[in-house]
């Protein structure tokens, strides 16, 4: 069993930052592949997620998207994610991240995808119904 990621609500997880790896590209975060499979519905190499540090107030849609990478035993960052911690690429990493709690939000990816038109249409319909 792995400590992280822990599902908070559907498609939203909590973890900690374990460090950084030179094997990851900019815009990627690594998580122990076994922890991903055991604890989440996130798909390594496919899922995009936005991250939120607990003390951050940055609006959701202004946060950067990261591709989730499954860290295997032979990979450099694997030891930094033994319990399912997040590992950043060296280019995205800041020293003050280490050990911090972070929310992994994949709701947009799984529920909305790239079609924001559906969201706008649903919002307009809801507003129309409120006005009646």
Q: What is the CATH number of the domain that holds 66?
A: 2.40.40
Residue 90, pLDDT score: 95
pLDDT digits (tens, 9 = 90+) for 63-111: 789 999 999 999 999 999 999 999 999 999 998 898 999 999 988 755 5
> What's the full length of the chain, in residues?
132
Residue 48 lies in a domain: yes
> How is 77-105 classified by DSSP, letter by letter?
TGGGGTTS-EEEETTT--GGGTT-EEEEE
Residue 1 lies in a domain: no
Residue 60 lies in a domain: yes
pTM of the model: 0.80
Which is higher by pLDDT, 56 or 53? 53
Residue 25 lies in a domain: yes
Residue 27, pLDDT score: 95
Residue 113, pLDDT score: 53
The number of distinct structural domains making up the chain is: 1
> Residue 41 is part of which domain span?
6-131
Mean pLDDT of the chain: 87
């Amino acid at each position: 069993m792995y400590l992280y990621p822990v599902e908070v609500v559907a498609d939203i997880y909590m973890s900690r930052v374990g460090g950084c790896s030179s094997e990851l590209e900019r815009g990627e975060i690594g998580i122990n592949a076994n922890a991903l499979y055991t604890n989440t519905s996130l798909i390594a190499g496919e899922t995009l997620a936005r991250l939120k540090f607990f003390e951050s107030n940055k609006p959701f849609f202004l946060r950067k998207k990261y591709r989730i990478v499954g860290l295997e035993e032979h990979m450099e960052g694997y030891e930094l994610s033994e319990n399912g911690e997040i590992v950043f690429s060296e280019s995205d990493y800041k020293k003050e991240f280490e050990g911090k709690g972070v929310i992994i939000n994949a709701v947009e990816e799984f529920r909305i995808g790239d079609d924001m038109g559906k969201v706008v249409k649903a919002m307009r319909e809801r507003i129309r119904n409120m006005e009646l």
